[in-house]
Amino acid sequence: MIKRFVAFGLDQPFFLILLVALFIAGGIAAFRSLPVEAFPDVTDTQVQVITLYAGRAAEEVEKQVTIPIEIALSGIPHSVRLFSHTQFGLSFIAVTFDDAVDAYFSRQQVLERLRDVDLPAGVSPELGPLATPIGEIYRYRLGGDLPPTEMRTIQDWIVARQLKTVPGVADVVTYGGFVKQYQVEPDLPKMKAYGITLQQLFTALDRGNANAGGGYVEKGEQQYLIRGIGLLKSAADIGNIVVTQRGGTPLLVRDISNIETGAMPRQGLTGQDKEDDIVTGLVLMRKGENPSEVLKDLKTKIDALNSTVLPNGAEIVPIYDRTWLIDTTLHTVFRNLTEGALLVTAVLLVFLGSARAALIVAIMIPLSLLATFTGLTLRGIPANLLSLGAMDFGIIVDGAVIVVENIFRKLAEHSTHQPEFKRDRNALKTVILEATTEVGRPTFFSMLIIITAHIPIFTLQRHEGRIFAPMAWTVTSALVGSLRCFFTSCFAAMRRKKRT
């Protein structure tokens, strides 16, 4: 088989050149579409169920919320672990799945189970964002001279909502500032004097914050739609809500209470450097997305917000950008790959004693890299520090070194005994074919043995598999590419030798 393949390559050089050109084009296209990240995501597929039960002690939340949800989620297909944590007013449950399911299937299974859970009135469990613990790709703060309450309002109603529209963004988490509130402080003596209870006040506030639909009135050829507008927009609107009436005179909320604009009580604050109270945002990437592409679109959106949307006195200032880490990692990896390729080329030059032979073998290095990019793209494995850092040029060029060295040795022997040998193309083909066939079979099987040695790594599961599988796929793809390309060195050796 090897002999026929080499003979075909020697007889059809242009076809071989075309195959190499297509291989290079495919490798470049694979590299351009290959997701690039700083480090691999080794987390399991996990679904988080978050339930708020405001004002309740941890014991109540545990009995009335956490335990019923745990019972409902028990036995979900492909689940391997169920973890729960309960604290004041909050229930948190995480369901971990094996590698047989994807994130969307697991979330669908959890949602189906949650529909049948019997929970207290007003309690509604929610799923956490489709992100992983290493999904934080961008952190920013709102810079400017506006008050913290106004900064938080801009963050919640403008910035966060706009950033969530970026493809690949799972969620935007906000820290710091004050959440604006309209606070109604009842005046108990006045309420007692008018005979108003707190329940009446609560009912009036709830009733007064709603729109009402109506019918229509026809007038001539026109039709007028009727609706009642009651959504509150300011503190003055709250004060004008009617609680009851006394002798035909309406009793308003402002008559029995004080209405102020305040903020929700907070349990902490966010600071940076010398500033003790700032508003920050944390952008989470959706699991499985390409961080480079998501960051590119995210920065475009942030530039648009800073230039046209945000009011004067507010701007988005980056604190952490994973692009910095990705660029540094890629720079380190490719610098090491370049240095390794140059070192291998220098060693080849010393031991082969021929610059042409060393260059022919060194060509296998970039071609093997292109094969690696193609293999990683086909497997959906991102390029990161572990995958690209596993490249071993010494193993990659072994086959080409053996073949090229044997070819040059045979050609040198024949040139010494037959001075006219170099001008005979058929004789050149015959010698190259014999030299390649002589070492081709053991070389081919030696590389197959190296590839086979990585099979145990492919059998690893969960965290171990996600850590070591990229390395195994990188080395295997490079070796397969080297197997494809080292026969090309036969044709290259013949062309080089003929020109001399």
436 or 318: which leads in pLDDT: 318
**In the prediction, which pLDDT does 500 show?**
46
For residue 238, is pLDDT > 70?
A: yes
CB atoms within 10 A of CB 214: 9
For residue 284, is pLDDT > 90?
A: yes
Query: pLDDT tens across 75-103, in order?
Result: 898 999 999 999 999 999 999 998 888 88
Sign (positive or negative) of CA dihedral 373, 374, 377, 379: negative
CB atoms within 10 A of CB 125: 19
Average pLDDT over residues 445-474: 80
CB atoms within 10 A of CB 141: 21
411 or 210: which leads in pLDDT: 210
356 or 420: which leads in pLDDT: 356
For residue 342, is pLDDT > 50?
A: yes
8 or 206: which leads in pLDDT: 206
**Whole-angstrom distance between the N-terminal and C-terminal Cα of the chain?**
30
**In the prediction, which pLDDT does 299 show?**
93
The angle, 0 to 180 degrees and rounded to 10, between the axes of the packed helices 2-11 and 13-33 is: 100
Which residues, including other chains, have CB under 8 Å from residue 165's CB and lie 6 or more apart?
A: 301
12 or 335: which leads in pLDDT: 335
For residue 499, is pLDDT > 70?
A: no
Tell me the pLDDT band of 423, cut-offs 50, 70 and 90.
low
**In the prediction, which pLDDT does 61 show?**
93
| Domains along the chain with CATH numbers | 2-33+353-499 (1.20.1640.10), 44-130 (3.30.70.1430), 183-263 (3.30.2090.10)
Average pLDDT over residues 450-467: 80
**Among residues of the chain, what percentage have pLDDT more than 70?**
90
Size of the chain in residues: 500
Query: pLDDT tens across 288-319, in order?
Result: 888 888 999 999 999 999 999 998 888 999 99
Answer left, alpha or beta for residue 353, where phi above 0 means left and psi between -120 and 50 means alpha.
Answer: left
Secondary structure (DSSP) of 455-482 = HHHHT--HHHHHHHHHHHHHHHHHHHHH
**Among residues of the chain, what percentage have pLDDT more than 90?**
26
Give Cα separations from 212 to 53, 119, 242, 305 (angstroms). Answer: 30, 30, 16, 35
Average pLDDT over residues 234-243: 88
Sign (positive or negative) of CA dihedral 432, 434, 439, 442: positive
For residue 65, is pLDDT > 60?
A: yes
Query: pLDDT tens across 102-136, in order?
Result: 889 999 999 999 988 989 988 999 999 998 888 88
pTM: 0.74
Average pLDDT over residues 146-163: 91
Mean pLDDT of the chain, nearest integer: 83
